[in-house]
Structure 1
Amino acid sequence: MIADFAENWLLYLSIPLVAALIGWSTKIVAVEMLMRPLRFIGIPPYLGWQGVVPKAAPRMATIAVDLMFTKLINPQEMIDRVDVAELTTRLRVPLNAAVDHMVREMMMRHNPRLWVNMPPAAQRALIERVQREVPQLIEEIVVDLRTNIDQVMDLRGMAISALVDDPALLVEMVRRVGHHELRFIVRSGLLFGTVLGVVQMFTWALTHSPLLMPAFGGLTGLTTDWLALQMIFRPVKPVGIGPFKWQGLFHKRREQVCIDYADLIANEIFTPAKILEAVLEGERADRLASLLSHRMQSFVDSAAGPAKPLVTLVAGESLGTMQREAVSYVLDYIRVAAHTFDQQAIEILDMKSLVIEKTKLLTDEEYEGLLRPAFKQDEWKLVAIGAVLGFLVGELQVQIMLH
């Protein structure tokens, strides 16, 4: 055995290196097959592949969103966090500009002669009166939303649809929350593969069995994948002797994971622009329009003030049309301006801080649910892929050594 080792020492030393390569490469493949491709590639239904996460999007999205809404996000609490005074202060300039444009456009459309003959000072006075009424209108709308939040918006349905319709967003969610754990899976392949490779080297020296290399290659791919997945989530609490302790990586990083997860929810999933889009274009959009119509009628009456009888006399039947058009104008304005106010609205809602606070209160099992659904049901596939790839590389290795 010693003579054989001395003669073929380069091949022997290559065994741990190849085993490390097997461990490392199979982890890269496993992680990428977890995420990609986003759509099925091949001949449906079985001859091909789709990333484990995108394929399980409906199930994973439902699990993730159920956790969000049972433990982290309360729509009522979200709307209660809106400070109307701060909102109107921040948006005063763009809102005043929008009101100015709306009044001029609607007056020119319905009473052009009256508007053109009106002195500029009178025009300005009317516009300013409407502008002064806007904060009160916003406050009344927010109050209505707080009272009828479930009737106006379906945030749970919006979140599930967002993750299912856009698999890339779900993949990004898993990558961002578990980026350290995914990187550990890849790097662990080098360490575990090297250790098993050393054992494999001595076993080959003793037996020279052609079945040894593929068997060890399969074992390396299988065990390193399984060990890496276990070390991510187990143990939940630190265990060990003296200074030598170990804790599942995902649980050990809880503080940072809470921040990353909250940032993803606040800036990718529940952005004010997406919430508004769901409210304005969703199944319950007609209810918001009805709510606004009621408030707009009161708003027009209030803005007219003492001049209401004169306005009614001059406008006649077109007053009702003006009120309905005002609702359409407000909705169109919100659609166009939503992205402009997105960052300001994010700061006002401060959803990130809310989610961080709530995520820290999760139990260990609930916290694990932030990432575990990406692996739990289909992790056997990752382990099996590692075993198959390891077996094939091991067979290639033995052919090189024998020939």
Structure 2
Amino acid sequence: MANGLGVFATAAAKFRGSWRSYLAIPLIAAFVGWFTNYLAVQMIFYPINYIGIPLWVKDGVPLGALGWRGIVPSKAKKMSEAMVDMVTGQLLSVEEVFGRLEPKKVAKLLNPMIETIASDNYNIPKKVTSQFSFLYSGVLSSFVRDMQKNIISLCDIRKCVVEQMMEDRELLGKLFQKCGELELKFLTNSGLWFGFFLGCIQMIVALFVENPWSLSIGGAIVGFATNWLALKWIFCPVTPTKIGPFGPFQGLFLTRQKAVAKEFSEFFAKNVLTSEKLFKSILTDETTKVNFFNLLKKRLWGSASAATLIVKELPNHLSAVHPYVDKTLALQPTLRKSMEKMSSIQFERVLHPIFEEDEFTLIVAGAILGFLAGLVQQAIATGNFTLMFWKRRKKQKLPPPPPALE
């Protein structure tokens, strides 16, 4: 009992002798928790381009020999492929969406293009070409119906999306940041109070343990644990789960399904699957543009020259069509309703993959930074910043032997 009281008395004496240093431990731990989580979030999205010495850089791998590229920019191809597979496999039917277009309406919007081509390239007066507008409308209407029947061969949604994400690697990051804004803020800010709580434990350990390495090791644990706990809190449990009489509990991201569905659908419809970008893909993709040309030539009674002229002039006249197509396809409400109906297990896959890809790297990075911060704490608490295993120990001088007895 006396020994136990002596331990507490020693700890109390240590605290009184250097109370400022010990109170600084949870404060520094709180900062370490916040900073490591903040850095983890930044490492997910930035830098867009590799920064460092390019001794060894592998495509799709964020960490180089001496440098780093954000996880999302590094894995843009893999992530965008998975995302578009989810969109086309679970959220919308390409055939059904394009089937909403009214061929006669599209033909009416494109009619001026045919008149211009006939007038400029075949020297037919516009007064004459306008008299045959019903004929042009019939051909265009039939062609639009042909497109709707063959839309899978004419529009490669997967390639359209992936090429956009590869061309602008920041675009995918913006989508994830918009959908996971609250979760990313939580990941950063939670490090502050997780770190403070663990820092209090770290301070108590330091008072009772003489080894100064307890601060450095504790710092590593704080950096590791704050990142790990925050990530788990965001996505676990996937389905509502009761713990005894409490709950049900569910990961923070999973509870925001309706809000995320709104953000995702708006971003995707306004920035990715727009009429302009869909038609650009149809007319420039090496595979789909051939299919488009052959289908058009067939509708023009095999006239390759007429089909060539229309394909050449079409991009200059599509601006009249885009507003109608965007409105009629109604991708935003379609994506939103479908995402709201996803199961929790399916919905978890919307955002979690960006963390999973290099989750271990992020957590280890937090542990390393926490360890370095622990060294600072060690210096504050002990006044000695020298690493113990680098410090040369002085040889102990033995006292002189007693004089020999005569």
**TM-score in terms of structure 2 length:** 0.82
Number of the residue aligned with 1:312: none
For 2:32 and 2:132, locate their aligned partners in 1 and report how far apart those are by CA, in whole Å.
72
- Determine which of 209, 219, 222 is the counterpart of 1:220: 222
Q: Structure 1 residues 21 and 340 mapped into 2: Cα distance closer, same or farther (>3 Å)? A: farther
2-side partners of 1:188 and 1:337: how far apart? 52
CA contact (8 A) 1:22 1:393 kept: yes
Partner deviation per Cα, 1:151-189 (whole Å, 9 max, x = no partner): 222222222232234321221222122221111100110
Separation in structure 1 between the aligned mates of residue 42 and residue 358 of structure 2, nearest angstrom: 14
Query: Residues 266 and 351 of structure 1 are in contact (CA less than 8 Å); yes or no, is this contact kept in structure 2?
Result: yes
Structure 1 Cα separation of the partners of residues 319 and 360 of structure 2: 43
Q: Which amino acid aligns with 2:238?
A: V
Matches within 5 A, 1:388-403: 388-403=368-383
- Match among 177, 180, 183 for residue 179 of structure 2: 177
Partner residue, 2:390: none
Partner of 1:290: 294
The 8 Å contact of residues 269 and 332 in structure 2, kept in 1 or not, is answered as: yes
In 2, distance between residues paired with 1:82 and 1:251?
A: 35
The one-letter amino acid of 2:40's match is: A
SS in 2 for 1:48: strand
Q: Deviations over 1:208-264 (max 9, x none)?
A: 431011111110111111111111111123335778653201110000111111112
The correspondence for 1:189, drawn from 165, 188, 191, is 191
* Matching residue within 276, 280, 283 for 1:277: 280
State the 1:293 CA deviation. Answer: 2.2
1:73 aligns with 2:92: yes
SS at match of 2:67: strand
Instruction: Indicate the residue corresponding to 1:6 in structure 2.
Output: 16
- Deviation of 1:201 after TM superposition, in Å, equals 1.6
* CA shift for structure 1 position 334: 3.0
Q: How does 1:195-344 map to 2 (within 5 A)?
A: 195-238=197-240, 239=242, 246-282=249-285, 283-297=287-301, 324=304, 326-339=306-319, 341-344=321-324
Number of the residue aligned with 1:348: 328
Q: Tell which has more relative contact order, 1 or 2 (C-alpha 8 A, sep 6+).
A: 1
Which residue of the other structure, out of 364, 370, 390, is the alignment partner of 2:344?
364
Give the aligned partner of residue 44 of structure 1.
55
Alignment of 1:75-154 (within 5 A): 75-87=94-106, 91=109, 95=110, 97-108=112-123, 115=125, 123-124=126-127, 126-154=128-156
TM-score (norm 1): 0.82
Q: Secondary structure at the match of 2:345?
A: helix
Query: CA offset at residue 137 of structure 1?
Result: 3.1
> Hey, what's the Cα distance between the residues in 2 that align with 1:17 and 1:9?
13
Alpha-carbon shift at residue 77 of structure 1 (Å)? 1.3
CA distance in 1, matches of 2:249, 2:239: 8
How big is the alpha-carbon RMSD for the aligned residues of Structure 1 and Structure 2? 2.4
Alignment length (residue pairs): 362
How many Å separate the matches in 2 of 1:245 and 1:279? 48
User: Which one-letter code corresponds to 2:274 in the other structure?
Assistant: T
What is the rounded CA distance, in whole Å, between the counterparts of 1:287 and 1:379 in structure 2?
43
Against the structure 1 CA distance between its residues 96 and 284, is the aligned structure 2 distance closer, same or farther, given a 3 Å change threshold?
A: closer
Relative distance call for 1:143 and 1:100 in structure 2 (3 A) is closer
| Percent identical | 28
One-letter code of the match for 2:373?
V
Contact 2:36 2:223 in 1 (8 A): yes
Relative distance call for 1:103 and 1:75 in structure 2 (3 A) is same
1:26 aligns with 2:36: yes
AA aligned opposite 1:154: D
User: Per the alignment, in what secondary structure is the counterpart of residue 212 of structure 1?
Assistant: helix
* Counterpart check, 1:384 vs 2:364: yes
CA positional deviation for 1:80: 0.8
For 2:181, give the aligned amino acid.
H
Structure 2: which 5+ runs fail to align? 1-10, 57-64, 384-406
Amino acid at match of 2:187: I
- 1:9 is displaced (CA, Å) by 2.6
The separation in 2 between residues aligned to 1:23 and 1:47, in whole angstroms, is 25
**C-alpha contact (below 8 Å) 2:103/2:140 kept by paired residues:** yes
Which amino acid is the alignment partner of residue 84 of structure 1?
Answer: P
